[in-house]
DNA sequence: GTGAAAGCGCTAACAA
DNA sequence: TTGTTAGCGCTTTCAC
């Protein structure tokens, strides 16, 4: 039933050529080679249903495997990026290794090392920026692409969104809707570009309006920090209507149930907005104002960047190191608020 | 800066032994080998910071890579299972290849073939059951574990939850809460055990109560089928209170906004329940009644099953082929309804 | 345009 | 207990 594995040898024998010729066909069929043998080999490969042994190829340098390293593969942002990377790679005949660091720098280091040992052809990662030296070194040998969090590393490309600008726009949109004060809820910045820039965008919008920023640092999975946010809101929310703007969707998921507990009318008394567009955005009543990150495009671009460098189409150091794809501000339709 | 790659040869030379001995140390350090050489090799490995070349090992049969094949890697169920598989494998020094089939049997076939060509040591998959012959064949050579969807294939293990029982319990719970009629919303069964069994559980509960089942088939991403559900509800929901029970969380995510449009009081006039526990379950007011699948445990068990077979701890055909991990019925606390 | 042959780094007989 | 050796399937000089 199951044919014994057919190797390049079998193909060579059947086609009456040497394995070297078959190998050449496999790698650069376009180059010098008589049409006849080309066709002959092609036929045999089909007839024998031959597939090159990837491990053997890998041993010689090309594993046709890319790795993606993220903080947590269950975060909606990561899920979506990983998925579109997978699509692009699958199309190109590459496989995708998925790993997560849990925001742990040492884990990230170990992981990267082991991936290199595995001979992956390239790495796409959402890094916490503690292993930039290693990455720079690796970038000389293989394509390294950073997503989400920007870091300036020689030879390393970044694929990110316009966090600052989008955050500014969201904040400004909330002001336009009439909210007097906007509470910005974020995790500790920790030198991460995403957080820093969203924060900066928020501050700018406040500054422009001459409104005092109101920032609250929250830590996910810590109910006390979440409760602290609530307390701040209760204390300082004298001047209604005010809005609550979380720096990412995961924060909002934790905070939202508590906000409901405030028994304020949304959106009249309290506005609710978040960076990210949670999949449950359609569940809340009314729909939340949010920032849709181009996760699909980010993944695609990251994957294609890796593939291009692998094909040698691109000289590593000549290209700009940052590719920015803008996010989209998704406003809750004003009609919906009054209609429903 | 970056040391040239150190191989088993270097270790052998430095330690004054043959590469075979080093290889033995690497693979079965426990077996016969003098303490002295063991220590010597150990030292050299540390000093040289040697890591076996995995591609070379792979060529000889052990890639230390497992693949997980799911329908869609962005489905919450899949995400969670994949993540816990990843944790277990990472711990064991294995890497995880992630792929998706998009519910396409041909794609699945191609994928499995390519994974085998890549030399993965084992495969965990959520299959649509169209390639069972191939799987049975493969199971003779490598560990194959099915998750979520059960199929009886010689040599293949299943890790699933008690879909029928859990569905029965959920339905029964709804009846107990006083709903006179329960509308079951599902995708086409298509021979998938998950759907079939949830359906069966629902039917049993209805039969026991002597209530006529009310089933509606819906297709995701098709608004017309979703609308059809709504129409059914409007027509047949004369006898309130009634409940709506979707066979999975994704269906509910699409349906929920429309249900809100009915302007019925929840839970007094309409009950809302779903298989799966969506991450937004805490967002709805009141909390939805749902079935929490043990995704974490399913992933863990699947991964461990593969690892065990790889270690040879287990004879493939002697073990029972189905491991069932029960789901948990999560009732919306009655207090919450009245209190808030 | 094609073939012969030398490895890539490792494992596993088979010897010793 | 350890060493010698023959590959695994492929790529890649270097000849012809």
Element (H, E) at A274: strand A270-275
Q: pLDDT digit string (tens) for B136-182?
A: 989 988 999 999 999 999 999 999 999 999 999 999 999 999 999 99
Q: Say which residues have a Cβ less than 8 Å from residue A118's Cβ, sequence separation at least 6.
A: A63, A65, A67, A97, B54, B55, B65, B95
Residue nearest C5 (alpha carbon to C1'): A20
Q: How many CB atoms lie within 10 A of CB B35?
A: 7
Instruction: Identify whether the C-beta of residue B338 lies closer than 8 Å to the C-beta of residue B284.
Output: no
Does at least one atom of strand C sit less than 7 Å from the CB of B8? yes
pLDDT, chain B, mean: 90
The Cα of A246 is separated from the nearest Cα of chain B by a number of Å equal to 15
Residue B31 has what pLDDT? 65
pLDDT at residue B120 tops 50: yes
Dist. CA B127–CA B133, nearest whole Å: 12
Domain A59-161+295-325 shares a fold with domain A163-293+329-335: yes
CB contact under 8 A, A53 and B59: yes
Instruction: Identify whether the C-beta of residue A202 lies closer than 8 Å to the C-beta of residue A168.
Output: yes
Q: pLDDT digit string (tens) for B270-311?
A: 999 999 999 999 999 889 999 999 999 999 999 999 999 888
Element (H, E) at B70: strand B65-70
pLDDT, chain A, mean: 90
In CATH, which superfamily holds the domain spanning A59-161+295-325?
A: Response regulator (3.40.50.2300)
Note the CATH architecture for domain B8-52. Answer: Orthogonal Bundle (1.10)
Q: How many CB atoms lie within 10 A of CB B185?
A: 24
Query: Which of the four pLDDT bands, split at 50, 70 and 90, describes residue B228?
Result: confident
Q: Which of B188, B182, B238 is nearest to B210 (CA)?
A: B182
Dist. CA A313–CA A327, nearest whole Å: 28
In the predicted model, what is the mean pLDDT of residues B183-202?
97
Residue B340 has what pLDDT? 31
pLDDT at residue B235 tops 90: no
In the predicted model, what is the mean pLDDT of residues B197-215?
97
Average pLDDT along chain A, 340 residues, taken 10 residues at a time: 74 91 83 83 90 89 92 98 97 94 96 89 96 92 95 95 98 95 96 98 97 95 88 77 96 94 90 96 93 98 94 66 96 54
Residue A334 has what pLDDT? 62
With helix as H, strand as E and coil as C, how does A123-189 read? EEECCCCCCHHHHHHHHCCCCEEEECCCCCCCCCEEEEECHHHHHHHHHHHHHHCCCCEEEEEECCC
CB contact under 8 A, B73 and A86: yes
The Cα of A103 is separated from the nearest Cα of chain B by a number of Å equal to 14
Domains in chain A: boundaries = 8-52, 59-161+295-325, 163-293+329-335
pLDDT at residue B1 tops 50: no
Residue B337 has what pLDDT? 40
For residue B36, give the nucleotide whose C1' atom is nearest its CA: D1
Q: pLDDT digit string (tens) for B16-67?
A: 998 989 998 888 766 678 888 889 999 999 999 888 888 899 888 888 999 9
Query: Which of the four pLDDT bands, split at 50, 70 and 90, describes residue B242?
Result: very high
- The domain made up of B163-293+329-335 has a fold known as Rossmann fold (3.40.50)
């Amino acid at each position: 039933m199951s044919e014994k594995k057919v190797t390049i040898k079998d193909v060579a024998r059947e086609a009456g050529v040497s394995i070297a010729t078959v190998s050449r066909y496999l790698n650069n069929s376009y180059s010098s080679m008589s049409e006849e043998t080309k066709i002959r080999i092609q036929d045999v490969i089909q007839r024998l249903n031959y597939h090159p042994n990837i491990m053997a190829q890998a041993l010689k340098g090309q594993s046709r495997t890319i790795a993606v390293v993220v903080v947590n593969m269950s975060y909606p942002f990561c899920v979506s990026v990983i998925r579109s990377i997978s699509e692009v790679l699958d199309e190109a005949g590459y496989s995708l290794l998925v790993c997560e660091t849990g925001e742990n720098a040492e884990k990230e280091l170990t992981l990267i090392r082991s991936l290199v040992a595995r001979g992956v052809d390239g790495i796409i990662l959402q890094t916490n920026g503690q292993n930039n030296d290693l990455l720079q070194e690796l970038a000389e040998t293989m394509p390294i692409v950073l997503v989400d969090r920007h870091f300036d590393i020689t030879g390393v490309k970044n694929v990110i969104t316009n966090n600052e600008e989008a955050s500014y726009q969201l904040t400004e949109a909330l002001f336009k809707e009439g909210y007097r004060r906007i509470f910005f809820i974020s995790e500790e910045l920790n030198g991460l570009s995403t957080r820093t820039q969203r924060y900066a965008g928020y501050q700018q919008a406040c500054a422009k309006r001459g409104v005092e920023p109101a920032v609250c640092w929250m830590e996910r999975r810590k109910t006390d920090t979440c409760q602290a946010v609530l307390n701040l809101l209760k204390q300082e929310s004298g001047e209604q209507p005010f809005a609550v703007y979380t720096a990412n969707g995961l924060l909002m998921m934790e905070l939202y149930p508590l906000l409901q507990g405030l028994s304020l009318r949304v959106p009249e008394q309290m506005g609710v907005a978040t960076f990210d567009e949670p999949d449950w955005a359609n569940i809340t009543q009314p729909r939340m104002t949010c920032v849709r990150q181009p996760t699909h495009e980010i993944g695609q671009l990251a994957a294609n960047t890796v593939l291009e460098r692998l094909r040698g189409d691109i000289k590593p150091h000549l290209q700009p190191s940052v590719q920015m794809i803008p996010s989209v501000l998704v406003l809750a339709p004003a009609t919906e608020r009054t209609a429903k």
